Structure 1
Amino acid sequence: MFSACRRPSGNLVALLRDNADFRRLLGACVLSRTGDWFTYVALSSFIYNHTESPGWTALLFAVDSLPGMMLFPLIGPLSDRFDRQRLRIACDLGSAFPVVGLLIAFHIGSVTLALGCLAARSVFAAVSAPIPEVALPNLVASGELSLAQTMLGSVYSASLVVGAGLGGVVSAAWGASATLLIDGASFVVSALLVARIKRPLSSAAATRRLRIRADTAELWRFLRTTPIATALLWLTAGLRLCYGMVALLPLYALDRFHVGDAGAGAMYLAQGLGAVLGPFAGGWLTASSARRRLYVAAVALAVFGLGYLLLAHASSLATGMTAAALGHIGVGACSMLAINGLQLATPDAIRGRVLVFAFSLSSTIQGASMLVVAPMAATVGVADTTRILGVLAVTYAITWSIWATRIRATRFDADREDTFKTRR
């Protein structure tokens, strides 16, 4: 494995300097995610302006999240059985086609077509999105995995900062079509970067043979016998259960603060800044302690809820941005700690299924949360909806921490790989 080929540096600059494959993977993720946020800003404004409904705007995020639920039984085995590099390239190139449909939808003013194209693009995203996290342990030394995942998670969030901030500016200056063209180009360049990765993205040869029932049964057996992985999945579920309130961010800008597209971009910008800081804060607070990881993750989920409770009382764009940034420091830390814990606890032969299950669980619960938020925002109002979900996040964090921190801190080491191979 690659981890045996080079000594971990523990230094971010050295990791980026010495590991070209990691740089390429990181660059591909930045480009595709930045382009995504260009589109989200344009779509949020397009849907709201054509429907004048907070519910329809929140539904936009639900449409983006739900395909992961429907495709979960297929995506996991695909990530473990097929060449991950070719799979990612195919998805990046395929994602460019729905962008053309969005251009047409914007031109003719069709909300239905726009949502349909977003759903089609979300199918490609559901397959490709887990691949960087699944492949990361094969591209960096084991001692650098936490640092690399922190960087990957933060760069995802940084792309939100750049994509949302610039997306609002580009949309206001040159129109929504310009943002969509940039999104389409980002997928093409991302595919080129992934194609240049030299090291294999899995430690086992691709079989190209799907065994959906057997592979799924193997996944359940692993989760039943790995309590720490189960706890981290429940943490992910709690985070996404409350995540529907994120869909309300543009509504605060458009409906309460009355600052237009640029203000919606600013709210996303604050969200991204918080999410960039979150993974680094989580990594710094946990160090290498598995048990401390659980405590910090629970606190991070509570911070998410508290940030949005502050947002519900915000009266200006500045205070709203501050509250959103605080909330997403919690999101970034909680998400990074959960994913990195699963990477450490899971062998490569089944890592694709475990992480795809985590992402699919996130998409399913997040989509359901968005669907609930849409009618709630239309009936009880944006602020009260935010308060309800904020309280839910804090309550869930307290409940989860009482249960999860009783779990004996499990060693995340190579013995897990040997145990899994014995079961097989």
Structure 2
Amino acid sequence: MKEFAEIFKNASFTRLFIANVTSQMGSVIGLTAFMFYILDRFSEQPAYATITELMFSLPTLAVFFLVGVVADRLDRQKIAYYCEMIAAAMSLCVLGAVLIGWMPLIFMMLFLRSAVQKFFFPAEQGILQGVLKKEDYTTAAGLNQLVNSVFMLFGNAIGIFVYWTVGIYGAILVDVATLTISGLLIKSMKLDEGVRKPNGSYSIKELNIRFIWSDFMIGLKYILTNKLLLALIYGFIAFGVVNGGFSVMQVFILKYKLAPDNYEQVSIYFGIVFGAGVMIGSFLSSLLTQKVKLYKLIILGAFYIAVMTILASYSTNILVFLTICFFLALGLPMINIAIGGWMPTIIEPKMMGRVQGWITPLMMLSQSITLGIISIGYPNWFSIEIIYWFVGACFLVVGGYYSLVLPKLAKEKEQKDELARQKEVQLNY
């Protein structure tokens, strides 16, 4: 808790953190409400719920080569601000599409809104890396994980409550309001030019297709020459599959197996139980990061979550399912906090955007493929249990791969960092 109090003394971090929380709140409420709106309106067509999730992941594949270059070459603060404001306007367009009631138009508006927001994360991560000290990265990752656990704890409940009280239209308006607040907070930040433009000043006119592609490939070369970063990214591809499965399989197992008559109410309980598990796990993992090497936490977390995910598929009633999901949630922060605290120490600040420009589309590609397979194959070709087994198998593969390569690569990085520190001390002396 002392570390959390210290990091909030940084005014730039505090505003960025509040902006991120506000933006997430609206998105969670909007997405949850929209998911239940689709399930209520098209209860006999579960593919629509999966397609909705696809509209949030597929846009990455349309803009993947732009987001990282834009974040590294243009003003990161302006990018983050305009992303939020344009996304708010696009949410109003989604509202109009829902009023019309034509599903292709609704999906198109969701796609465009999501495409705009894909530019936000690389810019926000670049700003975050610029306003924090290296020793604060893991603390910030732990804090973000704690906030995510709060959203897991109350997000579904709030989203469903908003949906029940003011309907899908009210939920979308909440999304618009929170995105606007987030954008204004980001605009109000006072940031040094080095944080906003780590690679110097560029104009949009300079970012022609040849320049963008060349810069994008520089990001790829940077990844390929950094063995540790490359090894982590291989695992992220499998995490994309996991994200695709997790985004729909929890509500599917409730609606189509365990609680078909009251799955909305049980989803609230699930959010509370899962969020409580992640919150407790966040505190425990934050303590473990001070005593256990980060790569060991990632490996341990992957194997633990694999076992719990597979066990969840065998649930015969709601109580057993919620109990297993609570213990599953305890392990998620091990991976998220460890990776979140480790990645900024591996990636140079001037390359953060272009690296994220590769990581995000790779994850989203595997996530989109997974969602596409689910939308086509479930429930005709495979059962909900198969989805759980597949996600669990992905965690097992990642855990096995990381246990083979990360210890050696982490040791090599420590040796390089120590040599660099010694050289710096000698130069200063």
CA distance 1:408–1:23, shift in 2 (3 Å): closer
Contact preservation (8 Å) 1:282, 1:297: no
Other-structure match for 1:155: 147
Other-structure match for 1:38: 29
Other-structure match for 1:90: 82
Other-structure match for 2:427: none
Contact preservation (8 Å) 2:79, 2:120: yes
Other-structure match for 1:422: none
Structure 2 Cα separation of the partners of residues 362 and 179 of structure 1: 28
Indicate which of 14, 34, 57 corresponds to 1:23: 14
Structure 2 Cα separation of the partners of residues 278 and 234 of structure 1: 25
Contact preservation (8 Å) 1:26, 1:155: no
CA distance 1:103–1:316, shift in 2 (3 Å): farther
Q: Deviations over 1:253-276 (max 9, x none)?
A: 323313243333443444444444
Other-structure match for 1:248: 249
Structure 1 unaligned spans of 5+: 1-8, 420-424
CA distance 1:37–1:322, shift in 2 (3 Å): farther
Identity %: 18
Contact preservation (8 Å) 2:140, 2:341: no
Indicate which of 251, 262, 265 corresponds to 1:262: 265
Between 1:111-120 and 1:205-214, the stretch displaced more is 205-214
Contact preservation (8 Å) 2:65, 2:357: no
1:177 aligns with 2:161: no
Structure 2 Cα separation of the partners of residues 137 and 389 of structure 1: 31
Give the CA deviation at 1:127. Answer: 0.7
Indicate which of 54, 64, 89 corresponds to 1:72: 64
Other-structure match for 1:225: 225
Q: Which structure 2 residues correspond to residues 102-141 of structure 1 after superposition, within 5 A?
A: 102-141=94-133
CA distance 1:324–1:94, shift in 2 (3 Å): farther
CA RMSD, 1 decimal: 2.6
Structure 1 Cα separation of the partners of residues 233 and 284 of structure 2: 21
Between 1:153-162 and 1:250-259, the stretch displaced more is 153-162
Other-structure match for 2:202: 207
Structure 1 Cα separation of the partners of residues 386 and 341 of structure 2: 34
Letter in 2 for 1:149: A
Structure 2 Cα separation of the partners of residues 203 and 101 of structure 1: 32
Give the ranges of 4+ consecutive aligned residues of structure 1 lying more than 6 Å apart after TM superposition: none
Other-structure match for 1:285: 288
Q: Deviations over 1:341-379 (max 9, x none)?
A: 221111111111112322222222222222222233222
Structure 1 Cα separation of the partners of residues 329 and 371 of structure 2: 17
TM-score, normalization by structure 2: 0.86
Structure 2 Cα separation of the partners of residues 328 and 79 of structure 1: 32
CA distance 1:215–1:282, shift in 2 (3 Å): farther
Letter in 1 for 2:160: G
| Secondary structure of residue in 2 paired with 1:366 | helix
Structure 1 Cα separation of the partners of residues 182 and 301 of structure 2: 31
Letter in 1 for 2:93: G
Structure 2 Cα separation of the partners of residues 270 and 105 of structure 1: 34
Q: Which structure 2 residues correspond to residues 223-372 of structure 1 after superposition, within 5 A?
A: 223-246=223-246, 247-256=248-257, 257-258=259-260, 259-287=262-290, 292-372=293-373
Structure 2 unaligned spans of 5+: 425-429
CA distance 1:327–1:243, shift in 2 (3 Å): farther
Give the CA deviation at 1:215. Answer: 1.4
Structure 2 Cα separation of the partners of residues 153 and 357 of structure 1: 23
Contact preservation (8 Å) 1:28, 1:194: yes
Letter in 1 for 2:295: L
Structure 2 Cα separation of the partners of residues 255 and 335 of structure 1: 30
Greater Rg by CA: 2
The number of aligned residues is 407
CA distance 1:82–1:266, shift in 2 (3 Å): farther
| Secondary structure of residue in 2 paired with 1:378 | coil
1:216 aligns with 2:216: yes
Structure 1 Cα separation of the partners of residues 89 and 344 of structure 2: 32
CA distance 1:269–1:104, shift in 2 (3 Å): farther
Contact preservation (8 Å) 1:253, 1:263: yes
| Secondary structure of residue in 1 paired with 2:32 | helix
Letter in 1 for 2:23: S
Give the CA deviation at 1:24. Answer: 0.8
Structure 2 Cα separation of the partners of residues 330 and 376 of structure 1: 29
Letter in 2 for 1:49: D
Structure 2 Cα separation of the partners of residues 354 and 155 of structure 1: 25
Contact preservation (8 Å) 1:42, 1:179: yes
Q: Which structure 2 residues correspond to residues 50-61 of structure 1 after superposition, within 5 A?
A: 50-51=41-42, 52-61=44-53
Between 1:101-110 and 1:274-283, the stretch displaced more is 274-283
Letter in 1 for 2:226: T
